[in-house]
């Protein structure tokens, strides 16, 4: 299985209302140092309805990038009940 497919599989396991970091997904996909590669794979997500890439955030708890823009990522997270505090996601929302 290609790394990007493993990234999509792991990302699809993040439940609604929760988030995981790029580094968490990299570890779960079998390449602990590949956080940036995770971001690149998610930027090319072929199935955003099945692979909720908006639930993957930076290790510093900021939302990070999103193909449709960071504002859209924040809006999608808010719709799921993930609220930011001073631009960061509180620990209680992390896996």
* Residues that are catalytic: 53
- The C-alpha atoms of residue 92 and residue 95 are separated, in whole angstroms, by 8
* Number of helices (H), then strands (E), in the chain: 4, 2
CA nearest to 52, candidates 29, 27, 77:
77
Tokens coding 6 = 């493993």
């Amino acid at each position: 299985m290609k790394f990007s497919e493993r990234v999509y599989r792991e990302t699809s396991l993040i439940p609604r209302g929760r988030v995981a970091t790029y580094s968490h997904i990299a570890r779960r996909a079998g390449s602990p140092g590949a956080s940036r590669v995770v971001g690149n794979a998610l930027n090319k997500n072929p199935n955003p309805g099945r692979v909720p890439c908006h639930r993957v955030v930076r290790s510093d708890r900021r939302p990070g990038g999103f193909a449709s823009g960071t504002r859209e990522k924040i809006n999608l997270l808010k719709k799921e009940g993930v609220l930011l505090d001073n631009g960061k996601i509180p620990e209680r929302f992390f896996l």
